[in-house]
């Protein structure tokens, strides 16, 4: 049985960052991924992923976001390529909606630069938007998007450069922990380490049954449309958006990589799934859900569909993250339940998990209360 200091199960957004931060702190790291690096079967793909500093989900996230931005910029320097593009971010909805109120509150609490725009003024500044007359928007200039596949690849490259081993196409079938560490069994081998970190995304509850009702996978669909007026949806012209509308909560990005405007909808068709048996086919109902948002609020983007892709959210009951030690163990740590808004935090979550595993979370102790498992007791 091979020995390591730390084992990380799942090398997507969170796991790749965790492997890097553990290796950066001198650990002999093994990362285990059941698919490839990167892959499009979980939650960490899609060409672009939103990052926003104004945070309607709660002001407690903002200090972590500031650290996340710094760590993404550090990774860019190491990688020698651009991974985070700033476009500005629009949080929009009815003036009394949770999205607008929460975004505005986080801006005021942390002194974030922002503007409050009505629908008419937003359209004048960014003609791709066509909000209804009663809607308002909070424009925060630091928002933008990350390139998730390139982020993961570069975290893995950086971890390997520090001596980490990353094994792909090696599925974990079980683990056990004792005071002496953790033993991990895969379909090919057995390994032992002093600490184990589980960042398995939609598969987290398979490895940790205590998460069965706390980290529930949900089928999502993303759509890329060819805009009718492509010039209105370029990164320098069109901010990313988080839009709470009567039809649901839509999110999206300007044209990048593929020549398409990207849109998704939180809790797309409310389909909880088994991650090993998810329907990855795209159906007319999937496109209809997203076309409703395009035609109502971004009609100049309502051109032909270029691509559609499934992914998964893994939802916690309160849609806040789970970052904690596994109950009853001294050396197993869990990151799960990122509920569709986690990828932007991957750079700092990796640092948090390394800190939990090696120092008991001292650096972030005052910031992790909202993510502890005890809140569900």
Q: Using one digit for the tens of pLDDT, what is the confidence trace for 324-341?
A: 999 989 899 999 999 999
Q: Which of 18, 21, 28, 45 is catalytic?
A: 45
What pLDDT is recorded for position 187? 97
pLDDT band at 246, cuts 50/70/90?
Answer: very high
- CATH 3.50.50.60 placement within the chain: 2-45+149-214+318-376
- In three-state secondary structure terms, 194 is strand
pLDDT band at 362, cuts 50/70/90?
Answer: confident
Q: Which of 21, 52, 262, 320 is catalytic?
A: 262
Average pLDDT over residues 165-176: 98
What pLDDT is recorded for position 361? 83
The answer, yes or no, to whether residue 55 has pLDDT greater than 90, is: yes
Q: 311 an active-site residue?
A: yes
Q: Which residues of 92-103 are buried (b: 16+ CB within 10 A; e: fewer)?
A: bbbeebebbbbb
Q: Using one digit for the tens of pLDDT, what is the confidence trace for 215-227?
A: 999 999 999 999 9
Q: Which of 49, 194, 219, 268 is catalytic?
A: 49
Residues 6+ apart with CB under 8 A from 324: 333, 334, 356, 368, 371, 372, 373, 374
Per residue, what are the HEC states of 125-138?
HCCCCCCCCCCEEE
Q: Which of 39, 123, 160, 267 is catalytic?
A: 267
The answer, yes or no, to whether residue 377 has pLDDT greater than 90, is: no
Average pLDDT over residues 118-131: 97
Average pLDDT over residues 2-16: 98
Residues in a beta bridge with 177: 182
State the CATH class of domain 2-45+149-214+318-376.
Answer: alpha beta
DSSP string across 274-323: -TTS---S--HHHHHHHHHHHHHH-GGG-S-EEEEEEEEEEE-TTS--EE
What pLDDT is recorded for position 149? 98
DSSP string across 62-75: HHHHHHHHHHHHHH
Residue with tokens 């339940």: 337
Q: 363 an active-site residue?
A: no
Q: 265 an active-site residue?
A: no
How does the average pLDDT of the chain come out, rounded? 97
Query: Nearest Cα to 277, choosing from 316, 307, 319, 312?
Result: 312
Average pLDDT over residues 314-322: 98
Residues in a beta bridge with 368: none
* Distances from the Cα of 59 to the Cα of 62, 110, 265, 368, angstroms: 5, 8, 23, 13
For residues 168 and 99, give the distance between their C-alpha atoms in angstroms, rounded to a whole number: 39
Q: Is the pTM of this model over 0.75?
A: yes
Q: Which of 89, 107, 208, 311 is catalytic?
A: 311
Q: 132 an active-site residue?
A: no
Q: Which of 194, 326, 341, 344 is catalytic?
A: 344
What pLDDT is recorded for position 204? 98
For residues 3 and 9, give the distance between their C-alpha atoms in angstroms, rounded to a whole number: 15
Q: Where are the alpha helices (DSSP H) in the chain?
A: 13-24, 62-79, 98-110, 119-125, 148-161, 204-207, 284-297, 346-359
Average pLDDT over residues 224-247: 97
Average pLDDT over residues 129-145: 96
Q: Using one digit for the tens of pLDDT, what is the confidence trace for 59-80?
A: 999 999 999 999 999 999 999 9
- CATH 3.30.9.10 placement within the chain: 86-142+216-315
Q: Which of 18, 21, 48, 249 is catalytic?
A: 48
Q: 208 an active-site residue?
A: no
Q: 253 an active-site residue?
A: no
State the CATH class of domain 86-142+216-315.
Answer: alpha beta
Q: Using one digit for the tens of pLDDT, what is the confidence trace for 248-288?
A: 999 999 999 887 999 999 999 999 999 999 999 999 999 99
The answer, yes or no, to whether residue 360 has pLDDT greater than 90, is: no
The answer, yes or no, to whether residue 179 has pLDDT greater than 90, is: no
The answer, yes or no, to whether residue 238 has pLDDT greater than 90, is: yes
The CA angle 371-137-67, to the nearest 5 degrees, is 35
pLDDT band at 209, cuts 50/70/90?
Answer: very high
The answer, yes or no, to whether residue 107 has pLDDT greater than 90, is: yes
Q: 39 an active-site residue?
A: no
């Amino acid at each position: 049985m091979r020995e390591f200091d730390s084992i990380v199960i799942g090398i997507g957004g969170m796991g790749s960052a965790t492997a890097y931060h553990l290796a950066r702190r001198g650990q002999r790291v093994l990362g285990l991924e059941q698919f490839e690096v990167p892959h499009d079967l979980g939650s960490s793909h899609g060409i672009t992923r939103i990052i926003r500093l104004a945070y309607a989900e709660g002001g407690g996230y903002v200090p972590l976001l500031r650290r996340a931005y710094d760590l993404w910029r550090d990774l860019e320097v190491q990688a020698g390529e651009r991974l985070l593009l700033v476009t500005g971010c629009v949080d929009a909805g009815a003036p009394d909606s949770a999205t607008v109120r929460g975004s505005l509150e986080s801006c005021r609490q942390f002194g974030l630069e922002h503007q409050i725009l009505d629908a008419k003024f937003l359209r004048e500044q960014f003609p791709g938007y066509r909000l209804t007359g009663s809607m308002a928007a909070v424009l925060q200039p630091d928002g933008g998007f990350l390139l998730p596949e390139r982020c993961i690849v570069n975290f893995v490259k950086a971890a390997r450069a520090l001596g980490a081993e990353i094994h792909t196409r090696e599925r974990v079938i079980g683990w056990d922990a004792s005071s002496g560490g953790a033993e991990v069994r895969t379909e090919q081998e057995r390994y032992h380490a002093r600490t184990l970190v589980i960042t398995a995304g939609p598969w987290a509850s398979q490895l940790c049954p205590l998460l069965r009702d706390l980290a529930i996978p949900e089928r999502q669909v993303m759509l890329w449309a060819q805009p009718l007026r492509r010039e209105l949806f370029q990164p320098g012209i069109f901010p990313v958006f988080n839009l709470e509308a009567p039809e649901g909560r839509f999110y999206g990005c300007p044209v990048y990589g593929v020549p398409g405007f990207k849109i998704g909808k939180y809790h797309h068709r409310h389909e909880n799934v088994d991650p090993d048996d998810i329907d990855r086919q795209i159906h007319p109902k999937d496109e209809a859900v997203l076309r409703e948002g395009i035609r109502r609020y971004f009609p100049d983007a309502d051109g032909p569909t270029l691509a559609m892709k499934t992914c998964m959210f893994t939802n916690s009951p309160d849609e806040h993250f789970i970052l904690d030690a596994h109950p009853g163990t001294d050396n197993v740590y869990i990151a799960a339940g990122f509920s569709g808004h986690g990828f932007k935090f991957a750079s700092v979550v990796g640092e948090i998990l390394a800190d939990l595993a090696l120092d008991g979370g001292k650096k972030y102790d005052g910031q992790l209360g909202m993510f502890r498992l005890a809140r569900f007791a």
